[in-house]
Amino acid sequence: MKIAIVGPGAMGCLLAAFASKAEQDVYLVDKNAERAKRIRHNGVKVEGISGDFTIKINSTAQPKEVGVCDLVVICVKSYDTEEAAKLVKDLIGEATQVLTLQNGIGNLQILNDVIGEDKVIGGVTSHGATMLEAGHVRHAGKGDTIIGKASGRVLGPIRDVAKMLSKAGFETKISKDIKGLIWSKLIINVGINALTAVTRLNNGRLIEYGGTKEVMRAAVQEAVRVAKRKRIKLAYDDPIQKVEGVAKATGGNISSMLQDVLNKKRTEIEFINGAIVRQGKALNMPTHVNEALTNLVKTIESSYEKQL
């Protein structure tokens, strides 16, 4: 399968390395030409729970050089999704499928609007990865990957994608309710990501302190109330227990939002806790804890150059 992975962040590099190792024809598409050149020269280096290895990857900042692919995987930050969707037109042919494996909500709808619902697959993954430097990632956690169409239809192309991902080491299932699963992952991120960014604690440390546990639970409860009002079916019965369990299971992981803060980069706060705030306002529901977390992370972003 010819695959273009758009965005050489932690997840993009991890998936590119695994798919290439599984003998797929893989290309990394980057908006940064210098970084693309560096990855093309040095390859992608993976360390962590899957072992240590380096593998050569075709990397480019010019989608036209890649041409039409069987699968395009969007791994950019949520705030870059619309731009990425417009830039990948040279990668998309009549039979191309476009998969999102991003955090937050809104990405699936953006891709459906720009590319067309018939070509777009939503997805969530429990694999965890930490970017150490350009093209160098630590594989920090394993778990299921679940994909599905917004329509709920299960057709041949989505089965082919699931088969390829599983062959590459991302054990993949197909769901008829991908929206519910995206929201289920969102609520986990709501409980963990912003808190790690504010406190600069690894995931597992959040449940070691009464203060962070209390804020985590309150943020999650707000998000669950919004989801229930929207009649979204979550993938677990006890959201608090699930979020705390994920924090423990990924104890040593540095969340993607904390990675962004440590690297003084823009975060995805508006697509995670901020999304709960917007959804809550639309439903006339209070989301004070998520609003506070959103404002704190946005303040950290705005004050990078002034921090001690």
Cite the active site residues.
185
The single residue listed with the structure tokens 């057709």 is: 155
Backbone φ and ψ of 163, nearest 5°: -65, -45
State how far Cα 17 lies from the chain centre.
17
Contact assessment for residue 275 and residue 104, using Cβ atoms and an 8 Å cutoff: yes
Please tell me the distance from the alpha carbon of residue 86 to that of residue 107, in angstroms, as a whole number.
13
Please tell me the distance from the alpha carbon of residue 27 to that of residue 8, in angstroms, as a whole number.
10
- The dihedral built from the CA positions of residue 144, 27, 183 and 193, taken in this order, carries a sign that is positive
